[in-house]
Amino acid sequence: MLHIKLGLGVVFLFLFGSFSAFATQDSLMIAKIYEHSFYKGEAYENLRYLTKHIGHRIAGSAQVAQAVDWSKGLMGQLPFDKVYLQEVKVPYWDRGAKEEAYILGSNQKLNVLALGGSVATPGEGITAEVIEVELLSDLRKYGDKVRGKIVFVNKPWDESLVETGVAYGLNSAQRSRGPAEAAKLGAVAYLFRSLGSGIDDYPHTGATRYVKGIDSIPAMAISAVGANTLHAALEEAPHLKVFLRQHSAWKGEVLSHNVIGEWKGTDHPEQIITIGGHLDSWDVGEGAHDNGTGTMGTLDALRTLMALGYKPKHTIRLVFYMNEENGVHGASQYGLQSKQNGEQLIAAIESDAGGFAPRGFDIKGGAEAVAWIQRSWKPLFEESYWVSRFLPGSPGVDSGVWGKHYPGALMFNFRPDPHRYFDLHHTAKDVFEAVDKRELQSGVAALASLLYLIDTHYEALPN
């Protein structure tokens, strides 16, 4: 039925002249890409190996080093013209033994995770009273009363927002800046309500930053259930105390690598289209959606085009970036070396939003280019493949970092369905079993189709 439907659609477009000959050719190619991805795609099985045999992959760890070697070997099995490692020095943060948190008196356990980059609790742990606020700005009214206390930021997720990335962004600064702000007022520790849309007992980790010259205090994410439990307990006993213990620490710099494969172009080999995502993950779960699907998906997008006998006009460079989660050192190194080498990076696709059903792409480019893409490419995706989002937006974290050296590059950020991603993001639930094969391979097809269109029609795009 799939073959019949796609075939009739292409014939209809041809007979009625709705698209140019180029659009008909593009439609045929995209149909082949989707068919190959659904029937012969390999992203799902590659993801199985990455998550089940290697597991989570925090930058600097032995697991991420294993992932680098394995990924290089995986690329080496494909007809890339060159596969190589790019050296990157990364800071290595180690969580240590499992965190502990409970309410004194009741001994009610609270599920917590150290925020990435956090220091350990001193000695045998911290016991202190808690000050609860919704916003960091609310701390100001407490003044000296914060000294010696645990600051508990309990800002619930805004469920009214369909775009969950916006909800995430509204709270993320309180995670990254919160411990430093609390430390300024003399707090001894920081508890942050996890950034996630689900009400469950899984805490979400994520990076935090300290400020030079201000004492670093231990920082933890608390699950939504734990946050609600603590909030209710504080309403009954405003001066209750909480015990916290964690063992996290920075372990110095480690030599790691970006993993890169190059497929040389036939017409403009000096012009490079970058595609990829970050290979590292947080150290809980298996790093499946964040970002195993991004790396294995972009690899399979190139493999699909190769299997179909496509010959790129421009050089296509697949990059698995290192250390996106706690420093973006890989993307920084990639951009710096590309600029120093005088390379022409003309376009990019990034995949770092999970492996759910594809919905489209955010585009960083000129208004005329975005309008042209909406007019010319969007119709190729939206009716048959349910991929309809082609809007101005962020290029993605890694592309945004190296893109500072290439402000004229046209950049695309892959956008899967957003509703379930932040149930799993940075948690122990981000495992292989949470990924649906059909959704993942549909994303592979969308990525491969967009890559084909960029490579084929780049010269026709408005500046």
Which of 247, 263, 295 is a domain's end point? 247
- Rounded CA separation 43/409 (Å): 27
pLDDT tens-digit series, residues 419-428: 999 999 999 9
* Farthest-apart Cα atoms in the chain, separation: 77
Predicted confidence at residue 23, as pLDDT, reads: 74
Is pLDDT above 90 for 20?
A: no
Percentage with pLDDT > 70 across the chain = 95
Predicted confidence at residue 181, as pLDDT, reads: 94
Predicted confidence at residue 368, as pLDDT, reads: 97
CB within 8 Å of 460: residues ≥ 6 apart = none
- Rounded CA separation 445/449 (Å): 6
Confidence tier at 7 by pLDDT (50, 70, 90)? very low
CB within 8 Å of 98: residues ≥ 6 apart = none
- Contact at 8 Å (CB) between 320 and 98? no
- Rounded CA separation 85/76 (Å): 12
Confidence tier at 22 by pLDDT (50, 70, 90)? low
* Whether residue 290 sits in one domain with residue 220: no
What is the distance in angstroms between the CA of the first residue and the CA of the last residue of the chain? Answer: 41
pLDDT tens-digit series, residues 332-362: 999 999 999 999 999 999 999 999 999 999 9
* Whether residue 314 sits in one domain with residue 367: yes
pTM of this structure:
0.94
Is pLDDT above 70 for 159?
A: yes
For every residue of 325-391, DSSP letters joined together read TTT-HHHHHHHHHHHHTT-EEEEEEE--S-SS-EEEEEEES-HHHHHHHHHHTHHHHHHHH---EEE
- Contact at 8 Å (CB) between 40 and 57? no
- Contact at 8 Å (CB) between 264 and 410? no
- Rounded CA separation 70/238 (Å): 53
Percentage with pLDDT > 90 across the chain = 89
CA atoms within 13 A on the CB side of 72: 14
* Whether residue 445 sits in one domain with residue 304: yes
- Residue 400's H or E segment, with its range, is helix 397-402
Which of 226, 247, 268 is a domain's end point? 247
Predicted confidence at residue 21, as pLDDT, reads: 61
* Whether residue 325 sits in one domain with residue 282: yes
Predicted confidence at residue 31, as pLDDT, reads: 97
CB within 8 Å of 292: residues ≥ 6 apart = 47, 50, 51, 281, 286, 355, 432, 435
* Whether residue 434 sits in one domain with residue 306: yes
Predicted confidence at residue 5, as pLDDT, reads: 41
Sheet holding 189-193, edge to edge: 108-109, 100-103, 241-245, 126-133, 150-153, 189-193, 219-222, 112-114
Predicted confidence at residue 13, as pLDDT, reads: 39
- Rounded CA separation 124/108 (Å): 19
* Whether residue 108 sits in one domain with residue 39: no
* Whether residue 179 sits in one domain with residue 33: no
pLDDT tens-digit series, residues 212-250: 877 899 999 999 999 999 999 999 999 999 999 999 999
Q: What is the CATH number for 315? A: 3.40.630.10
Confidence tier at 398 by pLDDT (50, 70, 90)? very high
Predicted confidence at residue 247, as pLDDT, reads: 97
* Whether residue 451 sits in one domain with residue 335: yes
Predicted confidence at residue 10, as pLDDT, reads: 42
Residues, the chain: 463
* Whether residue 229 sits in one domain with residue 109: yes
Confidence tier at 463 by pLDDT (50, 70, 90)? confident
- Rounded CA separation 45/419 (Å): 24
Q: To the nearest 10°, the Cα dihedral for 122, 124, 125, 129?
A: -110
Interaxial angle between packed helices 21-40 and 293-307, expressed in degrees from 0 to 180 and rounded to the nearest 10: 120
Predicted confidence at residue 215, as pLDDT, reads: 81
Out of 64-78, 201-215, 282-296, least confident range: 201-215
Cα dihedral sign, 104-107-110-111 = positive
Closest CA to 154 of 183, 192, 112: 192
Instruction: Give the number of other Cβ atoms within 10 Å of residue 141's Cβ.
Output: 9
Q: What is the CATH number for 222? A: 3.50.30.30
Which of 213, 247, 281 is a domain's end point? 247
User: DSSP assignment, residue 144?
Assistant: G
Is pLDDT above 60 for 67?
A: yes
Is pLDDT above 80 for 99?
A: yes
> How many structural domains does the chain have?
2
**Distances, alpha carbon 395 to alpha carbons 172, 305, 316, 364, 372, in Å:** 18, 23, 18, 6, 18
Predicted confidence at residue 253, as pLDDT, reads: 96
Stretch 390-417: mean pLDDT, rounded? Answer: 98
Predicted confidence at residue 12, as pLDDT, reads: 37
pLDDT tens-digit series, residues 249-267: 999 999 999 999 999 999 9
pLDDT tens-digit series, residues 276-312: 999 999 999 999 999 999 999 999 999 999 999 999 9
Domain that holds residue 9: 2-92+252-460
Interaxial angle between packed helices 378-385 and 21-40, expressed in degrees from 0 to 180 and rounded to the nearest 10: 40
* Whether residue 282 sits in one domain with residue 236: no
pLDDT tens-digit series, residues 107-156: 899 999 999 999 999 999 999 999 999 999 999 899 999 999 999 999 99
Sheet holding 314-321, edge to edge: 82-94, 249-263, 314-321, 268-278, 344-350, 410-416, 358-364, 389-392
What values do phi and psi take at 7, rounded to 5? -60, -45
* Whether residue 231 sits in one domain with residue 315: no
For every residue of 255-270, DSSP letters joined together read EEEEEEEEE--SSEEE
Predicted confidence at residue 18, as pLDDT, reads: 43
* Whether residue 63 sits in one domain with residue 36: yes
- Rounded CA separation 163/183 (Å): 32
Predicted confidence at residue 6, as pLDDT, reads: 44
Specify the 3-state DSSP secondary structure of 37: helix
Is pLDDT above 80 for 17?
A: no
